[in-house]
């Protein structure tokens, strides 16, 4: 049977697609028993902007996944890198100090705004450059980096910097990026792993939440440093790594937003008392990601969210909407893009929660979606 593009889009937007890992379970948005009374429009309780709404915005694909598999079968996949001397930009912060401590003692630390060397003694030109600065400073590091070393930059930021990296062509399979799912509370402190063993799946394989995953050229070198600290991670193709990165962003955005509107309760309390709101918001956001970024969160995302929220290393932490540009701001940008061209907000619940929290003074950051081309 041959399907035209139009027929394919109709099929993708139909309920039939729910049989392929996209279950549709209706959970009503319940009134909060917390001291803050959350009042949003009825639209916030409805799952709007699913696959159909997103597909109207834009549809695109690429052949990267097929090419990666062909390379793997033919033996053309990139060779594994080994850990060795490296340059660490911002090496005196929590992550930078940690990576330096787990290195071989031959790393070069470059301060923020410092010059990144093209060569290292006894090493030559092949070495990673770990970018251990906040998201707002990443662009200045990229701009000041010698062109010979741009492809050796290793990004370890906690927020979603994909749009920024795409601006400079640094978001491909060869570029090294990491989702580091562990906490370091202070410089020199021992890392607290966020990995959660969720038991076996239906095939007997162990399921995990909060995995540390890395993609790109220097993934193996970084994994070696993490292993010395007892942090287990894995190397992925960029296509698969991207899903983990987006899942972390959605977790940070949704859990903290829902918690902020309920007296800033802890992460664990959000999972325990407000699971319906979390699941409803995830459903809308997942549909928007499919339509706008050609990405679907991995099956079982809700289960992983609640397992991670119970992790003893973070369950006690209070919730707060912060780092907006690199978390909630990415989702809000998708909403604004849709509305600017006349479509409904595909993440209406997320947008209305943001606006309600802003109106009440519980959210203090500016609700401006991030545009990497608007400030340069």
Judge whether residue 208 has pLDDT over 70. yes
Picking from 188-192, 264-268, 369-373, which range would have the lowest pLDDT averaged per residue? 369-373
CA neighbours closer than 13 Å in the CB half-sphere of residue 325: 14
Which pLDDT does position 360 carry in this prediction?
A: 96
State yes or no: pLDDT of 54 exceeds 90.
no
Which range (39-53, 138-152, 294-308, 359-373) has the least confidence? 39-53
Q: What integer best gives the mean pLDDT of the chain?
A: 84
Strands 233-235 and 212-215: parallel
168 exposure class (CB count in 10 Å sphere: 0-12, 13-18, 19+): middle
Average pLDDT rounded to a whole number, residues 11-28? 39
β-sheet bridge partners, residue 266 = 318
Confidence of residue 27 (pLDDT cuts 50, 70, 90): very low
pLDDT above 60 for 219: yes
pLDDT band, very low/low/confident/very high, at 371 (cuts 50, 70, 90): confident
Mean pLDDT of 165-192: 94
pLDDT value of residue 370: 80
Give the confidence band of 62 by pLDDT, cuts at 50, 70, 90: low
Instruction: Give residue-wise pLDDT tens across range 312-323.
Output: 999 999 999 999
CA-based nearest residue to 118, from 80, 152, 76, 167: 152
The band of 30, judged by pLDDT with boundaries at 50, 70 and 90, is very low
Largest CA distance in the chain: 65
Name residue, tokens 């595909």: 346
Is residue 83 within 8 Å of 103, Cβ to Cβ?
Answer: yes
Q: Which of 23-27, 133-137, 151-155, 331-335 has the lowest mean pLDDT?
A: 23-27
Lowest mean pLDDT among 22-36, 88-102, 357-371: 22-36
Distance CA(304)–CA(37), nearest Å, equals 28
Confidence of residue 70 (pLDDT cuts 50, 70, 90): low
Residue 204 pLDDT > 80, yes or no? yes
Q: Look-up: residue for tokens 């407000």?
A: 274
* Cα distance between residue 175 and residue 166, in whole Å: 11
Mean pLDDT to the nearest integer, 360-376: 83
Question: Alpha-carbon distance 154 to 216, whole Å?
Answer: 9
3-state class (DSSP) for residue 7: helix
pLDDT in tens, 83-129: 999 999 998 899 999 999 999 889 999 998 899 999 998 899 999 99
Burial code (b: 16+ CB inside 10 Å, e: under 16) for 246-283 equals bbbbbbbbbbbbbbbbbebbbbbbbbebbbebbbbbbb
% of residues, the chain, pLDDT over 90: 72
């Amino acid at each position: 049977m041959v399907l035209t593009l139009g027929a394919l889009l109709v099929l993708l937007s139909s309920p039939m697609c729910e049989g392929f890992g996209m279950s549709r379970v209706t959970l009503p948005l319940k009134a909060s028993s917390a001291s803050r009374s959350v009042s949003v429009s009825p639209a916030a309780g409805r799952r709007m902007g699913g696959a159909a709404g997103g597909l109207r915005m834009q549809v695109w694909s690429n052949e990267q996944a097929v090419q990666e598999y062909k390379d793997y079968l033919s033996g053309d996949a990139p060779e594994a890198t080994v850990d060795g001397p490296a340059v660490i930009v911002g090496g005196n912060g929590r992550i930078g100090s940690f990576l330096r401590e787990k290195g071989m003692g031959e790393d070069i630390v470059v301060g923020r705004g410092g010059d990144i060397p093209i060569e290292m003694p006894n090493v030559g030109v092949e070495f990673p450059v770990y970018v251990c600065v906040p998201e707002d400073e990443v662009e200045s590091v990229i701009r000041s980096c010698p062109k010979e070393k741009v492809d050796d930059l290793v990004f370890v930021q906690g927020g979603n910097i994909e749009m920024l990296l795409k601006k400079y062509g640094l978001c491909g399979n060869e570029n090294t990026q990491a989702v580091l799912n562990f906490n370091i509370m202070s410089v020199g402190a021992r890392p607290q792993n966020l990995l959660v063993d969720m038991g076996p799946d239906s095939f007997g394989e162990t399921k995990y939440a909060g995995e540390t995953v890395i993609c790109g050229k220097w993934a193996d070198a970084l994994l070696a440093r993490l292993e010395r600290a007892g942090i287990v991670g894995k190397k992925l193709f960029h296509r698969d790594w991207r899903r983990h990165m987006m899942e972390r962003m959605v977790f940070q955005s949704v859990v903290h937003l829902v918690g902020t509107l309920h007296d800033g309760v802890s992460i664990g309390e959000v999972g325990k008392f407000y699971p319906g709101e979390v699941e409803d918001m995830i459903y809308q956001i997942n549909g928007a990601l499919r339509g706008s970024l050609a990405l679907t969160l991995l099956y079982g995302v809700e289960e992983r969210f609640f397992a991670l929220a119970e992790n003893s290393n973070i369950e006690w932490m209070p919730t707060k909407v912060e780092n907006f540009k690199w978390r909630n701001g990415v989702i809000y940008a998708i909403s604004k893009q849709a509305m600017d061209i006349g479509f409904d907000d595909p993440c209406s619940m997320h947008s209305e929660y943001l606006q309600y929290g802003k109106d009440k003074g519980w959210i203090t950051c500016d609700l401006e979606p991030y545009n990497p081309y608007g400030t340069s």
